[in-house]
Amino acid sequence: MSTLETFVQNKDNQKHFSWGNILLLSFITFMVLMAVMVYSAINTQFDLVSKDYYKDELRFQDKIDGVTNASTLSSIEVSQNTDALLIQLPKEMKGLSVQGSLWLYCKTDARNDKKLSLNVNENASQSILKANIQKGIYQLKINWSVGAKPYYIEREIVVL
């Protein structure tokens, strides 16, 4: 036998993928990928910014007014040491009767959110212990009022 005849005979004995086999393999691959996507979508945790988002949306004008009023003040100072987060309201608030709340909003995990009442001293500053606050990036939202005038400030902070 010549080499050409041996090559032709070996080629005839090889198994080839037909279009049906390729189609079946493609379908199985597609189904496995879809199953993985459905599994990951089911196990994804979705946290809303607020559970009462409709009610919050109706009060959005109050937030706009607070931002406008706060923009006329000097800036807020946020610092931290090993034990506490220190918040200093604008110097114009010193000696005034300030009432309000602050919210440490964690974008990645709602379990890390902290809502606290704003209890500033005569220097318009407040200290928050870091013992109950997880390390990470937070959106600090401070809503306060002096008399009937509302103020609102948001700032991104990193708790170390």
List the domain range (segments joined by +) for residue 112: 53-159
For residue 8, the model assigns a pLDDT of 52
Query: Coil, helix or strand for 103?
Result: strand
Same domain, 61 and 115: yes
Question: Domain for residue 30, yes or no?
Answer: yes
Same domain, 100 and 57: yes
Question: Domain for residue 33, yes or no?
Answer: yes
For residue 60, the model assigns a pLDDT of 87
Angle at CA of residue 29, ends 24 and 33, nearest 5°:
150
Reported as a single tens digit per residue, the pLDDT across 14-54 is 566 688 888 999 999 999 999 999 999 999 877 766 777 77
Higher pLDDT, 14 or 121: 121
Same domain, 128 and 107: yes
DSSP-derived letter for residue 135 is S
Reported as a single tens digit per residue, the pLDDT across 94-109 is 999 999 999 999 988 8
What is the CATH number for 93? 2.60.40.10
Same domain, 88 and 107: yes
Assigned token pair, 48 = 């809303």
Domain count for the chain? 2
Q: How far apart are CA 36 and CA 39, in angstroms?
A: 5
Query: CA 79: distance to chain centroid?
Result: 21
Same domain, 21 and 84: no
Same domain, 89 and 141: yes
Same domain, 36 and 69: no
Same domain, 38 and 73: no
Reported as a single tens digit per residue, the pLDDT across 137-157 is 999 999 999 999 999 999 999
The arithmetic mean of pLDDT across residues 107-113, rounded, is: 88
Q: How far apart are CA 99 and CA 124, in angstroms?
A: 11
Instruction: Please write down the HEC assignment for all residues of 113-129.
Output: CEEEECCCCCCCEEEEE
**Cβ-based neighbours of 87, under 8 Å, separated by 6 or more:** 76, 77, 78, 102, 120, 125, 126, 127, 128, 140, 142
Question: Domain for residue 47, yes or no?
Answer: no
Query: CA 69: distance to chain centroid?
Result: 27
Residue 3 has pLDDT above 60, yes or no: no
Q: How far apart are CA 93 and CA 54, in angstroms?
A: 31
DSSP-derived letter for residue 43 is T
In this structure, the chain runs to a length of 160
